[in-house]
Chains A and B, each alone.
Chain A
Amino acid sequence: MSATAQPHAHHHYTTTGLEHRKIAIWAFIGSECMLFASLISTYLIYKGRSVVGPFPHESWLNPATGQTMKPILNIPVTSQSTFVLLMSSLAMVLALAAVENKGKPVREGAGWWERSLSSSKLWLFMTALLGTTFLGYQAYEFTSFVREGLTIRTNLFGSSFFTLTGFHGAHVTAGVLWLLTLLAIDFKRGLGPKDALLVDIAALYWHFVDVVWIAIFTLVYLIR
């Protein structure tokens, strides 16, 4: 969705007075619930059914070396990446608020923080940056798992884990690209209240991806 498309879309009469695209994105998000429910179900169904290690929460015997290996999930690292993604959602709402309030005068005598709150560029950038950081964490996690002997082909855990978190990662990636497009538009011609819908739907998508991670973090990482 880009800013140049449908410049006068909001002149159209709609039954509910709402924008088409906002309805569509919510319908899409509803659909995504089923997508991730299927992925998460599969992960949980296959939990504990792998016939060979590595396992998420249990130590396992490495048949190649005969060594007993630690459980593979790295909770401290993932807790950090979870925090990063949560903060990206904060940045996202600030970006939306900045766009919606663009043009409103900042309070007389506002400090740097208050003034920064009106910069949509800053917060769009921060969101994308935090998203990218999350992806960096995920790349780190994936590569270290592979080093420790877990690939998508190793066992049921590997297949279902990488597919679930990979799907989530792909969603984050798409979101980052979306945010960068918005940022580019912001630089090109500035995003103002009339563009709020564009940012709003991107934000809804972004938060949804965050919300999915909240579920994944608990169901996959914390619950044994």
Chain B
Amino acid sequence: MAHDPHAPDAGEAPHHPEEHEHPNWGTYKWVALWLTLITIFEVWLYYIPSFVASKLFIPTLLSMSALKFAIVVMFYMHLKYDHTIFRRLFVGPLIIAILTLVSLLFLFGHLAIRIAS
């Protein structure tokens, strides 16, 4: 990386971008392994009819998907190591996107709130 000696924004806590080296093969291989294992586990669950029918199926799959998502973003995209500004640029929109998606599903009746009537 092109290391720039200048400190960041005056209003923010001093933090040196790219100070941390990016991780290397030692980390990456574990990340890849985990991603593979989770994916295999997900697909395996898909083939267990009783589990698919259970209430746990969707939450389990969603959380595993989210986990994979987070792993890639943190390690492969280095968000864990990079400048906070990148984290804000990504996480802010991501939150709005997820909230929008969830509200839309509510509005179209795929997730239902029932109020005793």
Number of interface residues of B (CB under 8 A): 55
Q: Which residues of chain A are near B28, meaning CB under 8 Å?
A: 90, 93-94, 97
Q: Which residues of chain B are near A17, meaning CB under 8 Å?
A: 4-8, 16-17
Is the pair B46, A222 in contact by a Cβ cutoff of 8 Å?
yes
B98 close to chain A: CB less than 8 A: yes
Task: Kindly name the residue among B2, B35, B52 whose own CB sees the greatest number of chain A CB atoms within 10 A.
Answer: B2
Binds B, one of A25-33, A138-146, A158-166, A174-182: A25-33
Is the pair B39, A97 in contact by a Cβ cutoff of 8 Å?
no
Q: Which residues of chain B are near A193, meaning CB under 8 Å?
A: 1-2
Q: Which residues of chain A are near B35, meaning CB under 8 Å?
A: 86, 89
Count: A-B pairs, CB below 8 Å: 153
Is the pair B61, A222 in contact by a Cβ cutoff of 8 Å?
yes
Tell me the complex Cα distance, A37–B105, Å: 11
Q: Which residues of chain B are near A18, meaning CB under 8 Å?
A: 4, 8, 17, 83, 85
Min C-beta distance of B12 to chain A, whole Å: 9
Tell me the complex Cα distance, A87–B101, Å: 28
Which parts of B69-96 form the interface with A (CB within 8 Å)? 69, 72-73, 75-77, 83, 85-86, 89-90, 92-94, 96
Tell me the complex Cα distance, A208–B76, Å: 10
Is the pair B108, A37 in contact by a Cβ cutoff of 8 Å?
no
Q: Which residue of B lies closest to A193 (CB)?
A: B1
Tell me the complex Cα distance, A23–B84, Å: 11
Binding site for A on B (CB under 8 A): 1-2, 4-9, 16-17, 22, 24-25, 28-29, 31-32, 35-36, 39, 42-43, 45-46, 52, 57-58, 61-62, 64-65, 68-69, 72-73, 75-77, 83, 85-86, 89-90, 92-94, 96-98, 100-101, 104-105, 108, 110
> A-B pairs with the 5 shortest C-beta distances?
A30-B93, A218-B65, A37-B97, A10-B2, A17-B4
